[in-house]
Amino acid sequence: MTSTATPPVGAPQTPEEPGKGMRFVSWASNYIDERTSVSGFVKFIGRKIFPNHWSFMLGEVALYSFVVILLSGTFLTLFFQAAMTPVHYDGSYAPLKGVEMSAAMASTLDISFDIRGGLLMRQVHHWAALVFVASIGLHMLRIFFTGAFRKPREVNWIVGFLLFVLAMAEGFTGYSLPDDLLSGNGLRIIDGMVKGVPFIGTWISYLLFGGEFPGEDIVGRLYMLHIMLLPALVIGLIAVHLVLMVVNKHTQFAAPGATQKNVVGSPILPVFAGKAAGFFFLVFGVIVLVASFVSINPVWVYGPYDPSPISAGTQPDWYIGFADGMLRLIPPGWEFELWGGTWSFNIIVPIIILVLFLVVVAFYPFIEAWVTGDKREHHIADRPRNAPTRTAIGAAGVTFYAVMWAAASSDIIATHFRLAVEHVTYTLQALLILGPIIAYFVAKRICIGLQKKDREIALHGFESGRIVRMPSGEYIEVHQPLDAYERWRLVSYESYQPLMVRPNAKGKIGFWQNFRASISRWFYEDRIEPATQKELDEGSHH
Amino acid sequence: MTNEQPKRRKRGRRHPLAMVALIALGLAGTGGAYALATVPAGAETTSAVSSDLVAQGEALFAANCATCHGLALEGTEDGPSLIGVGAASVDFQVGTGRMPLAMSGPQAEVKPVQFTTEQIRALAEYVASVSPGPAIPDEEYLTGEGADLAIGGELFRINCAMCHNVAGAGGALTEGKYAPPIMGVSAAHIYEAMLTGPQNMPVFNDDNISPEDKANVIAYLKYLETTPSVGGASLGSLGPVSEGLFVWIAALGLIVGITIWLTAKSN
Amino acid sequence: MTDQHEHAAVSNRAHPEAPARSSGIAVIPTDAVANPGFPPERPRVTDLDPKVEKAQERRIIALFFVSIIGSIAAIVFYIVFPIIPGDMQSVRNNTMFVGAAIALALLAVGVGVVHWSKALMHGHDLVEERHETRGSEPTRERAAEIFTEANEESGFTRRRLLRNTLITAAVVSPLPGIVLLRDLAPIADPVPLLKHTMWAKGTRLTRDPSGTPIRAADVTLGSAFHVIPEGLNELEHGKLEEKAKAAVLLMRLKPEDLHVTPGRETWGFDGIVAYSKICTHVGCPVALYEQQTHHLLCPCHQSQFDITHEARVIFGPAKRALPQLPIAVDDEGYLVAQSDFTEPVGPSFWERVL
């Protein structure tokens, strides 16, 4: 295969006089290099190899939608007023004319109805935010199910996890800025949740809102978070995330010629940069297309925030849904007055469950590393079926999240499927526990089944559909054997086996040893090991 | 009816088609006489029509409503008393097809209207004649002329949106009941619903929301109905739930499709 | 836990010179199938046929022209579809046409660049060597050496009191910054504020949002009035803050349907009862009143309150019944409060019963 030692890009190939454009480029490159050593950077990065798989692009979707958010958001900051001073609306939307509302809401209405392209930019910004968080989620799932969080990428997993949380925070602070009825009730719920925190809740609520709810400070404070502090953190962490990815190099799926010691794919210049740049325009284009034709967050229909009215179907944006859903699933009466204080377990328990869930997600790489004791670097991405317990745990986690998320729309599920909201709630309460268990078992069995099928195909080839009648009268289906290249994918994975405990020098087995052995049994007892060369040789003699 | 071509053999009364002609003549004669005899009934004076209407209503009531509501409107096990519900209730319940109920229960669903406008009026007049109650609203409150959209909107959000949704898309109530969507409902029916508090909807009498304010609310709803959604397709006006579903299914679906195309090897 | 019970450390496949890393409980078969190496190349149509290559190039150029047209069209539409104040269709047209044109410009350029990369740029995969992430041994030794030198030259480990006082100073220095955050909220203690609302003896119940007082006779059977205290609309400051505690729902039921606990017999008037509208779960307005079932539903998390039993919780995550506002009728027939609520309204907080 060709190496990276190709002729330098851009150098004149012919002995003719270089054209004016070329001379300028040479002069400019020299000027910059003499002041910044950029040639070293070009040498380092210019022909770096990135492997090709569609699932490797999900992180890019997040990155590009973030750029779209920054661009559209900057436009909005030129017009938005993050103040809660009461004004009487005087713009072109007739049903709100003269109505008292905050300056934030009034400026949002002006952006929507009196500034050309304003509504478009608002919709681009909000749709991009939904795509941003969704693509981070999808990207995290890809990383999880292919085991790309293993050494040396554990730190990057943590960085990415922090980005996920920050993205949700950005979204929440953003949609609360217009101070409309929907987001205002969302803030009311947050205030209620904060107040339910023991000991310090009342004071945190008081400090957050600058006094009693709703106060006149919260929109301004969320604005600072939304356009300054959180984006700074996000941009900084994205930089760390990308630098780590370049240093570690990207993982790749098993393929003929791809090993732990190399990366096979396209160089940054020109192919990967071309695809990446093109993809940026495509993601941007899809977002603008959606924003041109599909309405999102019509704040004028909700009206300004007031503690008295509320809309049926009050939900947060989708990525906060799992929190709202968890609140809905708590049965009645979980609050007690004990030792002088009020313990609102109907709020404390959801908070604990959500935090625990996120903590398990954040620390999963370390849990798995402890179970396997595998301290080698891993650069070949797993096929999910080849890590059945991990995939099953992931399926259970996704189901748990999905049940909480579905619970947030329990009233809409009830009206659309002609059910009682009480029955929907009871069903989801049961599914919260049962769903992940069922998902775990189903996913694990499917993975093991697929591994068995892969092994069959590797050893005996795939069914070709041709039925042949033997001279003896027997009918057989001809199995088409795979060539070495097709087969490699099926046999190249690694399996683990449970830890064998042995007593130490004192003849004892430590608690943690035992515990680790049990967990490793749970993980790896049921396994299908890859076909070995010997088995292949035996198999081919049929 | 005459024969179109001269017959070579039979003519006049002996013609085979003569019997057909005779029957046709007879039918035309009796039908025409009937039509002539009944036409003048529509041209009578209003008072005569009203009392006719009440009588018609009574007959309709006895045939369609009394099984559940009692012949004297006193109510039975299956249906509440209609004493005092007024013409407005009848016009709303029957005019939207809710009544007669398909099944006794707390939720009266909108279904195809079973009576003509005149029959509904008849029923309404009859029920109002038995005992007075809220009346069918005057036209002036239904046209939207001179209405204040801002006040209408505020009142709608405070009194109605929590059940019917800010965009009138409907919402869930307890135990399987729901507040229906109210887009596309006639102004008269909206007024009557507010006034009479049908089924589990609270009563918004004229001391709670005055007739002028009811007109404002109706004008606001009609504005929402007739104004195009400025942002584009409204996805049912259900808010973040439908927006989230759209993002995951349509937007991300399209983008993932693009990534598959992008990373596939060129032909 | 010890390594000794695990499989023998296997040479890290990444780099033979680096120290071997334990493979833990991985199964390392002795006769694993070997990597067959790169498969034969499959050239693209554009590599083989120059006419096809030219045709694709023209297609891509056409796409770029479409993009230019799209961008220009967006500018034209911005002018041609202005917003006419009050005309909602003009807002829709502006948004849709400008947006669609921008989308076209972006998508066309995107498809063109991607197609160029896929079909025309060099089509074969290239290979790059990985290096182990850890630094080489000399580098690591030098790094450790640097820290040792710095430590010796500064005396960081040696001068213990110096080091410890420095660390303490560093830890303590952000504390004033945290204290500065106290004035995010006013000086006043929040707890008494949460325990009192605008309602007092004699405060009239008025309609939300107009503020007109309500007569008892106005509240007919099955009615639901949304109520604010008299004087709320005239407040200079704190209107929404007071409303967030004082909003009330007024309903009339048949007196025989109400189960009244001892002590509250005078809190209603002839079946007219008033309850706080602020949900005791997390504070949404609980306003979905069902006239026949007398259930009150909160739309946020579906807590349900039974008005016939003094708004006690019958479903959902709330715990406490909605506080009841004791009401009476004044000598002009208007409904008035007898006092403030007898317990804090709205969501629970730690000091609620203190």
Question: What percent of chain C clears pLDDT 90, i.e. is strictly above it?
Answer: 83
Of the candidate ranges A54-68, B31-45, C200-214, the one whose mean pLDDT is the lowest: B31-45
Residues of B in contact with C247 (CB under 8 A): none
Question: What percent of chain C clears pLDDT 70, i.e. is strictly above it?
Answer: 95
C8 touches chain A (CB under 8 A): no
Provide the Cα torsion C73, C76, C77, C79; round to 10°: 170
Residue B43 — pLDDT band, cuts 50, 70, 90? very low
CA distance A198 to chain B (A): 31
Q: What is the pLDDT of residue A9?
A: 52
pLDDT digits (tens, 9 = 90+) for B72-88: 999 999 899 999 999 99
* Identity of the amino acid at B167: A
Q: What is the pLDDT of residue A16?
A: 63
User: CB–CB of C39 and A485 under 8 A?
Assistant: yes
Specify the pTM: 0.91
Q: Does domain C196-337 have CATH number 2.102.10.10?
A: yes
Residue of chain A nearest B250, judged by CA positions: A290
Residue B29 — pLDDT band, cuts 50, 70, 90? confident
User: CB–CB of B231 and C226 under 8 A?
Assistant: no
d(CA C41, CA A485) in angstroms, rounded, equals 12
Which is more confidently placed, A19 or C294? Answer: C294
Degrees (nearest 5) of the Cα angle A146, A151, A157? 65
Which is more confidently placed, A152 or B19? Answer: A152
Q: What is the pLDDT of residue B20?
A: 79
Q: What is the DSSP string of C167-186?
A: HHHHHHTTHHHHHGGGGGS-
Q: What is the pLDDT of residue B22?
A: 83
Residue B1 — pLDDT band, cuts 50, 70, 90? very low
Q: Identify the DSSP state of C32.
A: P
Whether the ipTM is more than 0.85: the answer is: yes
pLDDT digits (tens, 9 = 90+) for C12-49: 444 445 567 888 889 888 888 889 999 888 888 888 88
User: CB–CB of B259 and A96 under 8 A?
Assistant: no
Those residues with Cβ within 8 angstroms of residue A78's Cβ, 6 or more apart along the chain or in another chain: none
Helix (H) / strand (E) containing A452: helix A421-460
Superfamily name with CATH number, domain B142-228? Cytochrome c-like domain (1.10.760.10)
Residue B35 — pLDDT band, cuts 50, 70, 90? low
Q: E strands along chain C, which residues?
A: 126-129, 205-207, 224-229, 248-252, 272-276, 288-289, 295-297, 304-306, 312-315, 327-329, 335-337
pLDDT digits (tens, 9 = 90+) for A35-51: 999 999 999 999 999 99
Q: What are phi and psi of A332, to 5 degrees?
A: -70, 150
Q: Identify the DSSP state of A384.
A: G
User: CB–CB of B208 and C45 under 8 A?
Assistant: no
Residue of chain B nearest A283, judged by CA positions: B255
A243 touches chain C (CB under 8 A): no
Please tell me the number of Cα atoms within 13 Å of A60 on its side-chain side.
26
C13 touches chain A (CB under 8 A): yes
Of the candidate ranges A198-212, A337-351, C35-49, the one whose mean pLDDT is the lowest: C35-49
Q: What is the pLDDT of residue C10?
A: 42
Q: What is the pLDDT of residue C172?
A: 97
Q: What is the mean pLDDT of residues C261-272?
A: 96
Whether A8 has a pLDDT exceeding 90, the answer reads no
Residue A511 contacts residue A429 (beta carbons within 8 Å): no
Q: What is the pLDDT of residue C104?
A: 98
- Partners of A180 in beta bridges: A304
Q: What is the mean pLDDT of residues A340-344?
A: 92
Whether C90 has a pLDDT exceeding 80, the answer reads yes
A123 touches chain B (CB under 8 A): yes
Whether B41 has a pLDDT exceeding 50, the answer reads no
Range 166-205 of C in CB contact (< 8 A) with B: none
Q: What is the mean pLDDT of residues A323-352?
A: 95
Which of C39, C283, C315 lies nearest to residue A189, judging by beta carbons? C283
Residues of B in contact with C114 (CB under 8 A): 261-262
User: Which stretches of C81-211 are DSSP H helices?
Assistant: 88-115, 137-154, 160-172, 175-179, 190-195
Q: What is the mean pLDDT of residues A482-493?
A: 91
Q: Identify the DSSP state of C257.
A: G
Q: Which own/partner pairs from A358-361 qualify as long-range (CB within 8 Å, at least 24 positions apart)?
A: A358/A161, A358/A165, A360/A397, A361/A140, A361/A161, A361/A397
Residue B45 — pLDDT band, cuts 50, 70, 90? very low
Residue of chain B nearest A304, judged by CA positions: B154
What is the assigned CATH class of domain A51-367?
mainly alpha
User: CB–CB of C297 and B174 under 8 A?
Assistant: yes
Q: What is the pLDDT of residue B211?
A: 96
d(CA A19, CA A21) in angstroms, rounded, equals 6
Q: What is the mean pLDDT of residues B40-64?
A: 72
Of the candidate ranges A111-120, A487-496, B25-34, B91-100, the one whose mean pLDDT is the lowest: B25-34
pLDDT digits (tens, 9 = 90+) for A244-257: 999 999 999 999 99
Residues of chain A with CATH 1.20.810.10: 51-367
Whether B12 has a pLDDT exceeding 90, the answer reads no
pLDDT digits (tens, 9 = 90+) for C234-243: 999 999 999 9
pLDDT digits (tens, 9 = 90+) for C160-191: 999 999 999 999 999 999 999 999 999 999 99
User: CB–CB of A411 and C240 under 8 A?
Assistant: no
Report residue C14 CA to chain centroid gap: 43
Q: What is the mean pLDDT of residues A275-302?
A: 97
Residue A55 — pLDDT band, cuts 50, 70, 90? very high
Whether C311 has a pLDDT exceeding 80, the answer reads yes
Residue located via tokens 């808010």: B239
Q: What is the pLDDT of residue A231?
A: 98
Q: What is the pLDDT of residue C22?
A: 87
Whether B205 has a pLDDT exceeding 70, the answer reads yes
Whether C331 has a pLDDT exceeding 60, the answer reads yes
- Supply the mean pLDDT for chain A: 94
Which of C32, C124, C243 lies nearest to residue A2, judging by beta carbons? C124
d(CA A157, CA A241) in angstroms, rounded, equals 9
Of the candidate ranges A15-19, A415-419, B255-259, the one whose mean pLDDT is the lowest: A15-19
CA distance C73 to chain B (A): 20
C91 touches chain B (CB under 8 A): yes
A155 touches chain B (CB under 8 A): no
Question: What percent of chain B clears pLDDT 70, i.e. is strictly above it?
Answer: 88
Of the candidate ranges A299-308, A409-418, B32-41, C72-81, the one whose mean pLDDT is the lowest: B32-41
Most confident of A531-540, B14-23, B101-110, C215-224: C215-224
Q: What is the pLDDT of residue C17?
A: 52
Q: What is the pLDDT of residue B8?
A: 55
The tokens for A186 are 């969302």
Residues of A in contact with C191 (CB under 8 A): 202
Whether C324 has a pLDDT exceeding 80, the answer reads yes
User: CB–CB of C317 and A311 under 8 A?
Assistant: no
What is the assigned CATH class of domain B1-136?
mainly alpha
CA distance A263 to chain C (A): 5
* Identity of the amino acid at B8: R
A276 touches chain B (CB under 8 A): no
Residues of B in contact with C124 (CB under 8 A): none
Residue to mutate among B207, B209, B224, with most C CBs inside 10 A, is B207
Neighbours of C283 (CB within 10 A): 27
Range 152-171 of C in CB contact (< 8 A) with A: none
Q: What is the pLDDT of residue B36?
A: 62
Whether A15 has a pLDDT exceeding 80, the answer reads no
Q: What is the pLDDT of residue C280?
A: 96
Residue C26 contacts residue C85 (beta carbons within 8 Å): no
Q: What is the mean pLDDT of residues A326-348?
A: 94
Whether A186 has a pLDDT exceeding 60, the answer reads yes
Q: What is the pLDDT of residue C14?
A: 45
